[in-house]
Each structure stands twice: as C-alpha cells, then as structure tokens.
Structure 1
C-alpha cells in the first residue's frame, strides 16, 4: 500500500477501556467490572484531577451487596485509572478514594454505589500546618515544595522552576492551597501527574501531543470543535513602581506578554491600530516586595495573552491517547487562522455505554498556522507523527 493510501486509510482501532486498579498491589475488581455504569475523570492544569465511578449494586441472597460489601472499596484506598488501548496503556489518574455514596432507591434493582476520587494532591490537604518559610535567604519556592511533598510519594518534576526566594512567608493551613498561592505569585502552574508534580511556567515549546484532527476524512478523531476569540482581555499590564525618594510621584511600568506565541500573529497585535491600547492596572499588595509585584504583573500579562479558547470532544478510541492538560496539541482542519498549536487547559474523560469520549478545553495566544500542519505534527508524539513525514514527501 502506498504512503498516500496509508495516510487516507488509517488503521482501525479497538474500542478503548478503562482499567481500575486498587491498593498498592493494584488489585483488579474482577467480576465487579461488569457492574460499572460510568466513569468520569476531570483533569485540569489548575485543579486536582477528580473522578467519579458509578457501580450498579446487587443484593445477594444473604442480604449483602456485591459492590459495597466486597471489601474492595473504602476511604483512602489507593486507586489507579488507566486507559487500555489494546496494544498499549496510558494512565490517567493515580490517587485515593475520598468518598463513597451508596444509593438505595425504592426499586432494589436500581441500587448504586458512587465512588469519589481525587489525585495524589489530596494528601497535601489532610494536615493543617503553621510555619514561617524563608528565614534562610537561600530558601526557594521549589525547596518549600520539596519539603512539603516529602514522604507523600510525589516527586517534583525535574523541569520545575525555582520560583522566588528570600522572602518571609507564613503558612497557616494545608500545604496544597499554600503551594497554589506560591505558583500564582510566580506565574507558575502546579500540575500533578501520576507520581509527580510540575511547578513552573507554561511549557509552550517542545514536543506536542498527538494532533486533534477536524474534517480529516477517515483520519478525523474530533467529534466537535468550537472557538471563542475574545477581544475583551488586556494586551498589557501596568503597575506602580515605588519612588526612589520619599514623597516622589510613583512611576508606572508596563509589561507585555513574554511567552512564546503559538501561531504566526500574537493575539495582542490585533486592535493595535485603535490608538489607545487595552492596558490593565495591577495594584501592589500590602508590603509586597517590588520584584514580587513585577512578577505578578508579568504573570497577569502572560495569562491575558491567551485570548482564544477552544472546546470540543474527541472520540477517545480514534484519538488513541490520553490528552493531557499543561501540554501542547496541534489542531488541524479549522482553517489558517484557527489551525495550529494550542495549549491544553482541561480534559474530561468519560467511559459510558456509548464508548470513550474526551471533552477538552484549549487556549491560545496567537492566530495563524506557524509553519503549517506538517511542522505542527512533526513535533508531536504518537502514531500520527508519521503523517508529517508522509505529507512532506508527497507535496
């Protein structure tokens, strides 16, 4: 079969399934898998990954229930949820059962057990802690993160940034909200993945995920795709700079977005001919050091640059991968202006009788395909990476 024929007639895929594994020994529920009604897993670059599993439950002759009384499901039971694509597997969530909701309606044939699950970050919300950080001038935010995750099985990602240092910080509460505050102060993400946590800026360069294909014939894996192109976000952020001498008039500094553009035309450029720029103002917070205010202003400018938001749904079996928040993904089939690289914000995975679906939200700070489809896919991972080579050789 020719390379073009392979491209236009991609191999079929087996329906994907979700594997449930319990405890440190990763026990499979076995026959109880047949009683699963639905599984939903919500992942995000800003919030903890959370899942809900609903089982049909059945009363046995001795009065016990097959699922609730199986002894497999209890509070803080470790659990893993993995997608089985037949030839390979990809883990979505690793965490703990944090709640159980048995439901006993009038009809005994409609009894259910609902499991609530959170990722490993749930361990960082169990203990209330009072501590002052930063007494050592060499203490960085990354060092604080490392100390707070010690003993949890969560390892800081080696690509994480150091963050700020040499500032006295008071923690009065669980570790997780404190760490999210530190991430926001740096313009960082706090992104938990199985066994690890990334504390750093958006990763807008490097390898992309497998592409989302819209209107691509038999290669199509996207069931729906919509875009909101928002013009009511600021193009820059200004903040006050403390005067050098007492009594002097405070000066202001304006910061532009400082992150790579995911396209040929940065979003902030559109509307520049109006004569008056769209600039937001950031106020200093209390006794915040000037460098910390500047860091917050830069983070605000960078985030506001993402004026394009996309949402849609993938056929998970056809896509063949777990779409992950906090990573790049190419989109093809949406035209020149809206095609190209996007940054993944949220993904909700659903396993039902209708199959495996991934509902996604993407974001982008530019328009235009920068380098075209072949270049976007060439930097991606997964089986469809070979499409780039086929396109390059054929045209």
Structure 2
C-alpha cells in the first residue's frame, strides 16, 4: 500500500505472519509505530462496517486476537525495504459509530519483548556469568527469529555457588533488564534486517557514529522539519559518589566521585551543563571490590542528557527515514542549539498519502563542538 512516497507491507497472522489479504489492506486507515530505547510498540486502525469482511469473518475467527497474532510492518523508501516493527498484538478496540463509515477497529501491540514477559519462573544460575545467563534465556526465543548480540560486561564477576548465586524470580524480560541495569547496559530487540528476523542487543548504549541528514529549521527553502523545540533541564545532571572499602583493611570507606559522563557517548556540546545534584550510592556498602567497581562503572555510563529536543517532520520533504539510536545534525536553531544530537525515539505515523515522524533528541550540553553540520 502506498503512503506518500513510501510503500507499506503488512504481514499478520497467528504465530506466523503472512502478507495481509486485500480486504485488510483496503480497510487499513493509519499505522503508528514508536521505536524507543527499551521497548517499541505499534497501533493499526481499520475501517469496519456492518458488511465488512473484518466484521463478519476475520474478527470473530480470531484474526486479530491478542498475544497469538504476530505483526510485521515493513516500509520501502527509495527502493530500500526497512522493517520498522515485529511484534504481537496485545489489545483490540472496536468503536462502532452511528455515522456511516466511521466505525473503526484499532489493534495495539508491542515488539517481541512481550513474548519474554508472559511467564514468571524461578530458576537458579549458580556460577553462571551474566553473559551466559542472557544467552541461555535468549536461546528459548530462537523460533521467533531472534538472533542474540550479547556484549560481555567490562568487569565480569562470578559468584561462588557455596556463598551466593543469581536467581531468576520473575519473567525472562525482567531478569535480562535487571542484568543490563547492574552492568550499565541496555537491552532491546531491533527488528530486521529481513522480515521475520530480529536482533536482541545486550550491551552498552552505543550510537551509530555516522550522522544522518541534518534536520533544518528556519532556513527558508532548505527547511525540512515541520516543528522543532528545545529545552534545557538544569536539574538533570548529577554527580554520583560511591563509597569503596579500602582493599588493605576492608573497613575504611573511600568516597569516589563518578561524573555524569558516558564513555560510549562522546560529548556533543562544547559547553556541557554542570551537575546540579550530588547523590550517594549506598548500595555499594559492604560489597567486594570487584562488585563495587562494577556498580561504579554501571552508574558512570548511565549518563543523563540536560538538553532535549522534540519535533516532527514529513518524510517526503526530509528525503529519508529518520532512525533512532543514532546521530543527527541540527541547523538553523542558532548557535546555542545547533550541532549533533542523539536520536532517542522516533514515532512513525502513516496515513494514506502521508508519512510523518515525531522524534526526540538529546545531548549533554550547549553549543556545537563541530565547526559545521553537513546537510
């Protein structure tokens, strides 16, 4: 189906997604896909009538049933297919209307992480490092086409099973996210590159170093965004202090300050905003040196951004699809806010004859540290 200059392909079905039949594509009114750091979701809106095949056949037959119905959304832009969503329906809403042609069916869903959050189990992991635990859990979801990409922690620790060991008491998703948090990592599932395939990433929050085409505002004919606004939160940055017991006696606490700087996200502002808050990590009290160091590294690379930006664009005018978890340049906003930013989240909004995106950007400070931003 053609949406502006993009061609949309919808695959849907119980367990195995197949190309949607013609009545489904004809009834499709809008598509919304949100890609964020941790979890992504989608929403499909269909027009339904009293004699609609969706109302008479597909809906009562369970074609849109939650949990069991898989949805894959692919957008072909400039001849290149891009899988923007692979997940399961979690909710359906039918809205009948007294006005002819105004009844709608809306299905909402999440990415494949929803399959990892359905069952809570209790299982021990004696003498098993974090990276092995993640791989063991992800191996259960290979039938969904999930390929694991697991980065080992910087300070690996293995507990003795005679003293203590890790145990899982919740869902697989909760356990993996807990492991990611204590190592300063992120975990998410990236759909693609082919329909039915996904990459489960467990590792540091890296960003693609090659910037995308610049977002231009207030540049007359060169303007390619519809709106763009910036904000500076003076309370966002912090200075974290961790008490580490001296290795000689193991009794004297040594305060070690950890600046709010992420080694995997180089500074993008020439004037970084200073931290306004000082926090103390009391969870490190009584820990061994290696465990305390791991907590320090984890908290150190979970930096926050003081400068954020929100905006919207028309993909036809921008010329390409804006991607999340990467870099993008900004022009025309003035000396203070021009420069490179990280793309935190992107929402795709597709309607007939229209393809727009809402986005959220962030960086650590003001004033660009690059002499120019390439268009």
TM range (shorter): 0.7 to 0.9
The correspondence of residues 1-395 of structure 1 with structure 2, limited to 5 A, is: 15-23=5-13, 24=16, 26-46=18-38, 48-60=39-51, 65=56, 68-69=59-60, 72-75=63-66, 76-85=68-77, 87-106=79-98, 109-133=101-125, 135-136=126-127, 139-152=128-141, 153-157=145-149, 160-162=151-153, 164-167=156-159, 168-194=165-191, 195-204=198-207, 206-244=209-247, 248-256=251-259, 257-259=261-263, 260-265=265-270, 267-268=272-273, 270=274, 278-284=277-283, 288-352=287-351, 355-374=354-373, 377=374, 387=375
Q: Deviations over 1:59-92 (max 9, x none)?
A: 2299953652576433322211122325332111
Check conservation: 2:268, 2:365, Cα contact below 8 A. Answer: yes
CA apart distance, 1:346: 1.6
C-alpha distance 263-109 of structure 1, shift in aligned 2 (>3 A): closer
Runs of at least 5 residues in structure 1 that lack an aligned partner in the other structure: 1-12, 272-276, 378-386, 388-395
In structure 2, relative to structure 1, the CA distance for the partners of 1:317 and 1:294 (3 Å cut) is farther
Could you tell me whether the CA contact under 8 Å between 1:329 and 1:343 is conserved in 2?
A: yes
Contact 1:90 1:322 in 2 (8 A): no
Change (3 A) 1:252 1:96: same
Instruction: Supply the RMSD in Å over aligned alpha carbons.
Output: 3.0
Distance 1:304 1:206, change over 3 A: closer
Shift of 1:238: 0.6
More divergent stretch after superposition (277-286 vs 308-317): 277-286
Aligned equivalents of 1:242, 1:213: Cα separation in 2? 51
Q: Following the alignment from structure 2 to structure 1, what is the Cα–Cα distance between the partners of residues 272 and 211?
A: 21
CA contact (8 A) 1:126 1:174 kept: yes
Q: Match of 2:195?
A: none
1:11-38 superposed Cα distances (whole Å, 9 cap, x missing partner): xx95335321124463133232232232
Query: How far apart are the structure 2 equivalents of 1:98 and 1:278?
Result: 40
Tell me how far 1:235 sits from its aligned partner.
4.4
Stretches of structure 2 lacking an aligned partner (at least 5 in a row): 160-164, 192-197
Compute the TM-score of the two structures, normalised by the length of structure 1.
0.78
Shift of 1:218: 3.5
d(CA) in 2 for partners of 1:62, 1:326: 39
User: Separation in 2 of the partners of 1:324 and 1:165?
Assistant: 35
Report deviation, 1:213: 2.5
| Separation of aligned partners in 2, 1:26 and 1:14 | 24
How far apart, CA to CA, are the structure 1 residues paired with 2:284 and 2:28? 50
**TM-score, length of structure 2 as denominator length:** 0.82
